[in-house]
A and B are shown apart, each in its own frame.
Chain A
Amino acid sequence: MTPRAEIHDLGYEPYRGARTPPARRFLTVARNVFAVAWGSRWGVKLPFIISVSTFVGASVVMYVARNRLFDMVRERGAPIPRAEQIIFFAFTYGFELAAYVLAAVVACAAVANDLRLGAFQFYFSRPLRARDYLAGKLLGLALVIGVPLFTGPVLLAVVRVCFAEDAAQAVSLLPVIPRAALLGLLGTAAFVLPPAALGALLGRRQPAQALFVVYFVVLTNAALAMAAVLKVPELSLLDVGHDVQVVGRALFGVGGGWPNVGPWPAAAALAVVCALSLAALWWRVAKAETSELGGS
Chain B
Amino acid sequence: MLLELTDVAKRYGQVTALRGLSGQIGVAGRRIGLLGPNGAGKSTLLKLLLGLTPFEGEARVLGLDPRRDALAIRDRVGYMPEMESYLAGMTAVQLCAYAGELSGLPRAAAMERAHAALYLCGLEDKRYLKVETYSTGMKQRVKLAQAVVHDPELLFLDEPTNGLDPAGREEMLALIADLPARRGVGVILSSHLLPDVERVCDEVMVLAAGRLEFTGTIGALRGDSEERFAVRVKDGLDKLAGALAAAGLDARRDGEELSLLLPGGDTDAVFAAARAAGVQIRHLAPLKRSLEAAFLEKVKA
A interface vs B, CB < 8 Å? Answer: 11-15, 17-22, 25, 28-29, 32, 35-36, 39-40, 109, 113-114, 117-119, 121-129, 289-290, 293-296
Contacts and interface: CB of A to CB of B under 8 A. Distances in A.
Given A19-B105, A294-B158, A119 B86 contact: yes
Given A290-B52, A295-B158, 19 more contacts: A12-B182, A13-B116, A15-B151, A17-B105, A17-B109, A19-B75, A22-B71, A28-B98, A32-B98, A121-B85, A122-B146, A124-B50, A125-B78, A126-B103, A127-B72, A128-B102, A294-B44, A294-B158, A295-B43
B105 A294 contact: no
Contacts of B104: 19-22, 25, 127
B81 to A, nearest CB: 4
B98 A127 contact: no
A198 B249 CA distance: 75
Main secondary structure of the interface of A (DSSP, over half): loop
Nearest to B159: A295
A11 B180 CA distance: 13
Contact of A293 (B47, B86, B103, B120): B47
B175 to A, nearest CB: 11
Given A114-B87, A117-B86, A117-B87, A28 B101 contact: yes
B6 interface: no
Contact of A40 (B50, B89, B98, B106): B89
A20 B108 CA distance: 13
B55 interface: no
B103 A127 contact: yes
Determine which residue in B47, B74, B85, B146 has the highest number of CB atoms from chain A within 10 A of its CB, and name it.
B85
Query: Interface range on chain B: under 10, 10 to 19, 20 to 34, or 35 or more?
Result: 35 or more
B148 A125 contact: no
A123 B102 CA distance: 8
Given A29-B102, A118-B81, A295-B82, A289 B88 contact: no
Contact of A125 (B77, B90, B94): B77
B98 A126 contact: no
A293 B151 contact: no
B83 interface: yes
Contact of A117 (B78, B85, B116, B150): B85
Given A28-B98, A127-B74, A122 B151 contact: no
Contacts of B44: 294
Contact of A127 (B75, B109, B117): B75
A109 B87 CA distance: 11
B46 interface: yes
A126 B88 CA distance: 18
B183 interface: yes
Interface in B75-125: 75, 77-79, 81-90, 94, 98-99, 101-106, 109, 113, 116-117, 120
Nearest to A11: B182
Contact of A118 (B71, B74, B79, B84): B84
B31 interface: no
A39 B101 CA distance: 19
Contact of A290 (B53, B84, B116, B158): B53
Contact of B46 (A14, A20, A127, A293): A293
In order of increasing CB-CB distance, the 10 nearest A-B pairs are: A294-B43, A19-B104, A125-B79, A118-B85, A15-B151, A127-B71, A121-B81, A113-B88, A127-B74, A121-B85
B127 interface: no
21 contacts: A11-B182, A12-B120, A17-B105, A18-B106, A19-B75, A21-B104, A29-B102, A39-B89, A109-B88, A113-B87, A114-B87, A119-B86, A121-B79, A122-B99, A125-B50, A125-B79, A126-B75, A127-B102, A289-B52, A293-B46, A293-B50
Interface in B135-159: 146, 148, 150-151, 156, 158
Nearest to A24: B104
A296 B79 CA distance: 16
Contacts of A119: 85-87
Contacts of B211: none
A153 to B, nearest CB: 29
B117 A12 contact: yes
A249 B75 CA distance: 50
Contacts of B50: 124-125, 293
A36 B42 contact: no
B108 to A, nearest CB: 10
Contacts of A128: 74, 102
Contacts of A127: 70-72, 74-75, 102-104
B119 to A, nearest CB: 8
Nearest to A25: B102
Determine which residue in B43, B81, B102, B156 has the highest number of CB atoms from chain A within 10 A of its CB, and name it.
B102
A126 B85 CA distance: 13
Contacts of B116: 12-13
A121 B83 contact: yes
A64 to B, nearest CB: 42
A36 B90 contact: yes
